[in-house]
Amino acid sequence: MNTEKKIILIAGPCVIEDENKTLEIALQLKDLAERFPVRFYFKASFDKANRTSLDSFRGPGLVKGLKILETVKNKTGLDIVSDVHCPHQVKDVKDILDVIQIPAFLSRQTDLLLAAGETGKTVNIKKAQFMAPEDMGYAIAKVESTGNKKIMLTERGTSFGYNNLVVDFRSLLIMREMGYPVIYDVTHSLQRPSFLKGVSGGDREFVVPMALAGICCDCDGLFIEVHPDPPQALCDGATSFYLSKMEFLLQKVIKIREVIDEKK
């Protein structure tokens, strides 16, 4: 396999539950990533500000959450990804995060995209569930207007009626033509939003085949939320992938990529 262009892997828990668990997951993922030809970023949210229900767990918040992410960064040496929801949060995260993520619901928010771009950090823009892939060109232009061309684009599924998502894999190919790395968010695209009375359901059993389908479309990387015990996860448990099964998944992903590379 040509390892000069490694598969990008963004993985971690949906939300920071506590410092010990977050660090434990990060260390296990680091050990795993070092054994595969991947470019790994650790992801965890300090605040899930777009939960459906007011009663849903959101995370520790900006101040405490950033301290935990800083601890993870210092103890593991990993690059860190997390999402921001307001332009004023950007100045607080820019010295800790290596990748500033724009949530799908906010991917058209001009001020947020500009603030993220102005940091000079890599900006990962998630395509909204209601957007056509071609429309991501406008989000790109907003970040590029700041002089920042360190951009990644992430596909996370499209609304398909009520409480369901579907992935049109043509989206990965269309967005690749825009000149930036394209990531396929496997676990979020398997959600059933608000399906469980204000809590998202989902179809975890399809994580492996959908991840392989994304790699077959020659995407640049995968986004996968993982947890040691997904049924007990405080956020997105229905689609979070078992941490213990990540090695199995990566073995298959790498084999598929090898086959694709051989045919080029």
In one letter, which amino acid is 69?
Answer: L
Which residue has 């956020």 as its token pair? Answer: 235
Q: Are 185 and 223 in contact (CB under 8 A)?
A: yes
Half-sphere exposure of 139 (CA within 13 A, CB side): 32
Name the pTM for this structure.
0.95
Residue (of 124, 132, 177, 175) closest to 148 by Cα position:
124
Residue (of 207, 250, 251, 198) closest to 225 by Cα position:
207
In one letter, which amino acid is 244?
Answer: S
Q: What is the pLDDT of residue 129?
A: 96
Helix axes 246-263, 19-33, angle to 10 degrees: 40
Return per-residue pLDDT of the chain as tens, 264 residues: 333 579 999 999 999 999 999 999 999 999 999 999 999 999 999 999 888 888 889 999 999 999 999 999 999 999 999 999 999 999 999 999 999 999 999 999 999 999 999 999 999 999 999 999 999 999 999 999 999 999 999 999 999 999 999 999 999 999 999 999 999 999 999 998 877 777 778 899 999 999 999 999 999 999 999 999 999 999 999 999 999 999 999 999 999 999 988 877
Reduced to 3 states, what is the DSSP secondary structure of residue 225? strand
Residue (of 91, 100, 124) closest to 220 by Cα position:
124
Q: Where are the beta strands (DSSP E) in the chain?
A: 7-12, 38-43, 79-83, 99-102, 122-126, 151-155, 158-159, 165-166, 182-185, 191-192, 201-202, 221-227, 241-242
Q: What are phi and psi of 123, to 5 degrees?
A: -115, 120
CA dist 254 and 185 (Å) reads 17
For the chain, the structural domain boundaries read 7-263
Q: What is the pLDDT of residue 52?
A: 80
Residue 203, both tokens: 């179809």
Residue 97, both tokens: 């995060």
Instruction: Give Cα 102 to chain centroid, integer Å.
Output: 10
Q: What is the pLDDT of residue 199?
A: 73
Q: What is the pLDDT of residue 49?
A: 87
Q: What is the pLDDT of residue 1?
A: 30
Which residue has 């991917």 as its token pair? Answer: 107
For 7-263, CATH gives 3.20.20.70
